[in-house]
C-alpha cells in the first residue's frame, strides 16, 4: 500500500503548509534533516527572548513554502520554470541550512577550523544525492550557482532570497520584536524576472524599503543584542577551552560524536575527503551533533578540575553572563592590558589564559550589501533600477557597514 506523502504542516507563522512533492517529503524525513529539529534557529537568543526556541527545521520548511509560493507566482507571469526546476529549487532552499552545527554559527569558529556551514551543507547535499540516486543533481547545481537560469539561485541566496524572507518573519514572531515584521506576501507577489535576473515590480518598492529597514533593526535588536553577544561569545570560550585541554591530554565528558571533534583538528580538507574516525565518516559524525550534545557536556563541565572550563561553564548554565561594553572605536591597547592584569590577579591565572575572561572582538551590520548583489526595481517603462536609485528616500546608510567594538568580562570585576 502506498503511503500518503503529501502531508500538511501547521506552521504558526504561515498557517497550513502542504508538502506537495513526495521527494521533498522524503528529504524532510531523512535523519540529516530531522537533526535540524534539535538546533535552535537563534542560538542562545532565548536567554534574552524567552520565546525564541524555534529551530532550523521550522525555518527550512517555511523557506520551502515561500519558495513554492514564489515559483507559482512567477509561472503565472509566464516565467519559464519547469516542474523539475520547481522541485529542484525547493529542495535547494529546504537543504540550504542542513550543514549548520549546534547553536548555528558558534561551531564554525570553535571545534572546527573556520568552516562555513554553506560548505558543509553542499557536502551533505552531495551525500544525500548519492543516497537518492542523483535526484538532487539539479538542486545542487542551483545551490552552487552552476545552473544556466541564474534567477533560481537568487531565490536561494541573494539580497532578497527566501531564506531572509522566512527568518525575518519567523524570528520577529518568536522574539516578539515587531520591528522585524515584513510584507513577505506582498514582496513575493511583486517579484518578476527580467534578463535572467530577479526584479521587483515598481509597486513593491515600499515593501522592499520596509524589508531593508526591518533587517537592519533585527540585527541591532536581536542578532547583535549585547546580552546575546555576551552569551554566544561565552559559549565560544567554553568550547575553545574544552578543545584546548582535550588536546593537552585531559579527559572531559562528551558524546562520542562531540569527542571526535574535540580530539581532532578538523579542517575543510577533512570534510571534503570525508575521513574516517573510529570507522565512522566525518559527515555522519557531524550529522549526529546538535544543541543537546553541547549543553549536556557543558552541564558536566561545571564540575571539571580545570578551573577555567568549570568557571565558564557554570556562568553559561546559570546565566551569570559576562558584562559587555560596546564602543564605536577600538578599546585602547593600554586599557586592555590593564584589564588583563586585573583578570590574572583576580582569578590567579597565567596571562595566556586571560583572554578566556576578557573577550575583545568586533561586530558589523550591513542591511544591504549592494556590492555582492543588488535588489533591482522594474519600472513601468521596463527600465530596471537598483533600489538606491529607484527609492525616493535615502537608503545609502543601509548600504554602509557599521562596525562596533566590544569587550566582555566577568561582572564581579569593576572595569569602569
- pLDDT tens for the chain, 416 residues long, are 456 677 899 999 999 999 989 999 999 999 999 999 999 999 999 999 999 999 999 999 999 999 999 999 999 999 999 999 999 999 999 999 999 999 877 667 777 877 888 899 999 999 999 999 999 999 999 999 999 999 999 999 999 999 999 999 999 999 999 999 999 999 999 999 999 999 999 999 999 999 999 999 999 999 999 999 999 999 999 999 999 999 999 999 999 999 999 999 998 888 889 888 988 999 999 999 999 999 999 999 999 999 999 999 999 999 999 999 999 999 999 999 999 999 999 999 999 999 999 999 999 988 887 666 899 999 999 999 999 889 888 777 777 889 999 999 999 887 66
Task: Extract the C-alpha cell encoding 209.
Answer: 524599503
The whole-number pLDDT of residue 370 equals 65
**Same domain, yes or no: 141 and 274:** no
Last residue in a domain, options 332, 363, 394? 363
Question: Considering the entire predicted model, what is its pTM?
Answer: 0.94
Report helix, strand or coil for 233.
Answer: helix
The whole-number pLDDT of residue 241 equals 96
Q: Tell me, what CATH number does 310's domain have?
A: 1.20.1250.30
Q: Is residue 111 part of a domain?
A: no
CA separation for the pair 18, 30 (Å, rounded): 18
Output the CA–CA distances (angstroms, integers) from residue 382 to 70, 155, 191, 229, 377, in the order listed.
21, 21, 14, 45, 10
- Burial label for 154, CB within 10 Å (0-12, 13-18, 19+), is buried
The whole-number pLDDT of residue 2 equals 53
**Same domain, yes or no: 303 and 210:** no
CA separation for the pair 386, 208 (Å, rounded): 12
The whole-number pLDDT of residue 1 equals 42
Last residue in a domain, options 209, 224, 239? 224
**Same domain, yes or no: 218 and 270:** no
Residue 365 · residue 401 · CB < 8 Å = yes
What is the dihedral sign for C-alpha 156, 160, 166, 167? positive
Q: Is residue 269 part of a domain?
A: yes
Q: Note the Cα 372 to chain centre separation in Å.
A: 18
Q: Is residue 266 part of a domain?
A: yes
Phi and psi torsions of 361, nearest 5°:
-155, -175
Number of other CB atoms surrounding residue 305 within 10 Å:
10
Tally of domains within the chain? 2
**Same domain, yes or no: 21 and 160:** yes
**Same domain, yes or no: 39 and 170:** yes
Number of other CB atoms surrounding residue 312 within 10 Å:
27
**Same domain, yes or no: 165 and 89:** yes
The whole-number pLDDT of residue 406 equals 96
**Same domain, yes or no: 231 and 218:** no
For residue 122, which of 354, 5, 245, 283 has the smallest C-alpha distance? Answer: 283
- Burial label for 103, CB within 10 Å (0-12, 13-18, 19+), is buried
Residue 407 · residue 359 · CB < 8 Å = yes
Last residue in a domain, options 173, 190, 224? 224
Q: Is residue 114 part of a domain?
A: no
**Same domain, yes or no: 207 and 350:** no
**Same domain, yes or no: 332 and 214:** no
**Same domain, yes or no: 238 and 206:** no
Q: Tell me, what CATH number does 70's domain have?
A: 1.10.3210.10
The whole-number pLDDT of residue 244 equals 96
Task: Extract the C-alpha cell encoding 54.
Answer: 524555534
Is residue 362 within a helix (H) or strand (E), and if so which, with residue range? strand 359-365
Task: Extract the C-alpha cell encoding 177.
Answer: 520584536
Output the CA–CA distances (angstroms, integers) from residue 136 to 60, 62, 103, 122, in the order listed.
17, 20, 27, 11
**Same domain, yes or no: 161 and 293:** no
Range of the domain at 325: 226-363
Amino acid at each position: 500500500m502506498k503511503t500518503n506523502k503529501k502531508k500538511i504542516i501547521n506552521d504558526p507563522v504561515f498557517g497550513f503548509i502542504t508538502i506537495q512533492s513526495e521527494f521533498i517529503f522524503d528529504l524532510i524525513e531523512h535523519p540529516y534533516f530531522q537533526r535540524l529539529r534539535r538546533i535552535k534557529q537563534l542560538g542562545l537568543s532565548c536567554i534574552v527572548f524567552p520565546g525564541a526556541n524555534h529551530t532550523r527545521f521550522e525555518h527550512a520548511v517555511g523557506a520551502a513554502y515561500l519558495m513554492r509560493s514564489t515559483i507559482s507566482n512567477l509561472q503565472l507571469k509566464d516565467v519559464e520554470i519547469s516542474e523539475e526546476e520547481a522541485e529542484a529549487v525547493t529542495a535547494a532552499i529546504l537543504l540550504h541550512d542542513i550543514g549548520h552545527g549546534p547553536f548555528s554559527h558558534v561551531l564554525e569558529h570553535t571545534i572546527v577550523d573556520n568552516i562555513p556551514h554553506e560548505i558543509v551543507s553542499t557536502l551533505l547535499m552531495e551525500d544525500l544525492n548519492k543516497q537518492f540516486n542523483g535526484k538532487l543533481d539539479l538542486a545542487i547545481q542551483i545551490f552552487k550557482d552552476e545552473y544556466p537560469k541564474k534567477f533560481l539561485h537568487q531565490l536561494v541566496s541573494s539580497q532578497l532570497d527566501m531564506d531572509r524572507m522566512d527568518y525575518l518573519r519567523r524570528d520577529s514572531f518568536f522574539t516578539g520584536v515587531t520591528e522585524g515584521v515584513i510584507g513577505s506576501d506582498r514582496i513575493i507577489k511583486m517579484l518578476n524576472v527580467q534578463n535572467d535576473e530577479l526584479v521587483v515590480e515598481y509597486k513593491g518598492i515600499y515593501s522592499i524599503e520596509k524589508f531593508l529597514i526591518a533587517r537592519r533593526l533585527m540585527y541591532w535588536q536581536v542578532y547583535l543584542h549585547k546580552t546575546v553577544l555576551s552569551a554566544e561569545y561565552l559559549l565560544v570560550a567554553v568550547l575553545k577551552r574544552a578543545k584546548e585541554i582535550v588536546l593537552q591530554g585531559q579527559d572531559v565528558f562528551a558524546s562520542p560524536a562531540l569527542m571526535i571533534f574535540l580530539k581532532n583538528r578538523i579542517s575543510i580538507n577533512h570534510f571534503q575527503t570525508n575521513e574516517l574516525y573510529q570507522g565512522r565518516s566525518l559527515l555522519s559524525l557531524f550529522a549526529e551533533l546538535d544543541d543537546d550534545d553541547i549543553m549536556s557536556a557543558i552541564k558536566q563541565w561545571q564540575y571539571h578540575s580545570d578551573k577555567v572550563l568549570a568557571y565558564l561553564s557554570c556562568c553559561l548554565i546559570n546565566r551569570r553572563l559576562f558584562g559587555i561594553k560596546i564602543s564605536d572605536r577600538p578599546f585602547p591597547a593600554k586599557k586592555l592590558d590593564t584589564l588583563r592584569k586585573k583578570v590574572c590577579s583576580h582569578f590567579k591565572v597565567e596571562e595566556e589564559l586571560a583572554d578566556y575572561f576578557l573577550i575583545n572582538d568586533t561586530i558589523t551590520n550591513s542591511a544591504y550589501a549592494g556590492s555582492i548583489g543588488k535588489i533591482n526595481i522594474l519600472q513601468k517603462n521596463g527600465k530596471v533600477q537598483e533600489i538606491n536609485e529607484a527609492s525616493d528616500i535615502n537608503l545609502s546608510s543601509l548600504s554602509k557597514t557599521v562596525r562596533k567594538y566590544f569587550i566582555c568580562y566577568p561582572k564581579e570585576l569593576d572595569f569602569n
